[in-house]
Structure 1
Amino acid sequence: MTHPAVVVTTSWDDGHRLDPRLAGLLEKYGVPATFYIAPRNIEFDAADRLPPSGIRELADRGFEIGGHTLSHRRLPLIPEAEAREEIEAGKAELEDVTGAEVTSFCYPRGEYRPVHVRQAAKARFTLARTVVRGSLGTGPLMEAATTVNAYAHRVDVPLVLRLAAGNPAKAARMYLNWDELAIHWFELCRRDGGVYHLWGHSWEVDERGDWDRLERVLAHIGGRTDVRYVTNGELPGMGIA
């Protein structure tokens, strides 16, 4: 019997000083990742930004470094020319730091318009990740969807009710505990095949005291012989939509 192909990828946004701690958990369980970094992120104090040495360290440890604009400005709220500069300058700075081409991009806060998709493609990104959740496929590569966020979203009632197939106790567990939801999605992916994409923020995991939840999920999804593990940047070459 031929089993459906299962692909696992993860990504972590913003470029926070706690990213190396998260990277340690990923390494422990053999799960690759893309770290989307805004090197001059205006939403962090300077001391909380991941410094160039930290960015290089992640790259040297085998993690993909992805673009996230230069300063994490909200693209739809700034002029198109400034948005283009943010996208291109962020890419250039990361390439200077790592000495490697940066080919994956994530829209800050998942906010973008069609012009920003074109700008990212023109900047020679081959994949651009959104914050759309609930998918076991990538969808359009320049508007790539994800599966689950390492965060309990209070708008997920319809989703968990559907996934729980009418079981109220199971729905409640997934609604209240994002790790339960993440593990459920992984088991669906193992059954049906597809791309399982977990994403989040190291600072948010820390702020909510969710390191144990994250480790539980990584321990469950990592190290499996029937799963292919890839970075976000490897998805375009796999022909999976």
Structure 2
Amino acid sequence: MTAIRTSPHPGGRPRVVVTTSWDDGHRLDSRLAELLEKYGIAGTFYIAPHNREFTLCDRLSPAGIRELGERFEIGGHTLTHQRLPRLPDKAAGEEIRAGKEELEETVAASVTSFCYPRGEYTAAHIASARQSGFTLARTVRRNSLVPGAPLELDTTVNAYAHRVDGPIALRLARLRPSTAAKLFLQWDELALRWFELCLERGGVFHLWGHSWEIDARSDWHRLERVLDHIAGRPNIEYVPNRALLGLMAS
């Protein structure tokens, strides 16, 4: 597959693109959407319309999905959010296809972006996503400013403090232990550091997460801090995930 890359603006200034994405289809996605609108940040919401991990009252309703789709890109996330590698390939393909069809019926628009549940997938699932009509598919791989292949899209930072991020925190802190500890313990600090690197080097800054997880950890203030910092910058492009395809190298 051809990788998605960015090219410099005229005059040699690095091209900087900001995109965000939010997974699962929880009712709190509406609260998250309000924050994105407040700061003028584009985003893609990957929704499993019958997510088995949520109670019915916690799922975003069809009306809520329609309303969200009027303001943001809606992406596929399978029908019920099952772990694809644990299913027979045919059943996994049906999950991918059926989720897409239901979302398209709900929002009355084409759905062309997809996210693998939990970031788990095989070559068969890539093929199923392509056959179902998806042109872009996001993984949960992090720590990159170059998205990569369209159906295996990498990201930059997750709105969650991962306990495996010690080495990357140390590298980004340039081996300064106190700074590394801050980046390791506070995902918002890590996000801000990645954004500054993106400004310096150019590329795609891709923030992603889950509204329910942000709420469970009382991290709304951290999210708003990051959005406030990255918003409204001159010469930065704020785009939904689907627009990354426009960055394909010719």
Shift of 1:223: 1.0
Matched, 1:145 2:154: yes
**1:39-60, Cα deviation, whole Å (9 max, x unpaired):** 0000000100000000011111
SS in structure 2 of the partner of residue 136 of structure 1: coil
Matched, 1:92 2:101: yes
Partner AA of 1:55 in structure 2:
I
Shift of 1:2: 2.7
Q: TM-score by structure 1 length?
A: 0.98
Partner AA of 1:236 in structure 2:
L
1:1-241 equivalences under 5 Å are 2-61=12-71, 63-239=72-248
Unaligned 5+ segments in structure 2 are 1-10
Does the 8 Å contact 1:138/1:240 carry over to 2? no
d(CA) in 2 for partners of 1:184 and 1:165? 11
d(CA) in 1 for partners of 2:101 and 2:187? 35
**1:152-171, Cα deviation, whole Å (9 max, x unpaired):** 00000011011111111110
**1:197-227, Cα deviation, whole Å (9 max, x unpaired):** 0000000000000000000000001111121
Does the 8 Å contact 1:137/1:240 carry over to 2? no
d(CA) in 1 for partners of 2:13 and 2:219? 33
Partner AA of 2:227 in structure 1:
L
Shift of 1:3: 1.3
Number of residue pairs the alignment of both structures matches: 240
CA root-mean-square deviation: 1.0
Unaligned 5+ segments in structure 1 are none
d(CA) in 2 for partners of 1:226 and 1:177? 28
Identity %: 63
- Structure 1 residue runs of 4 or more that deviate by more than 2 Å after TM superposition: none
d(CA) in 1 for partners of 2:234 and 2:63? 34
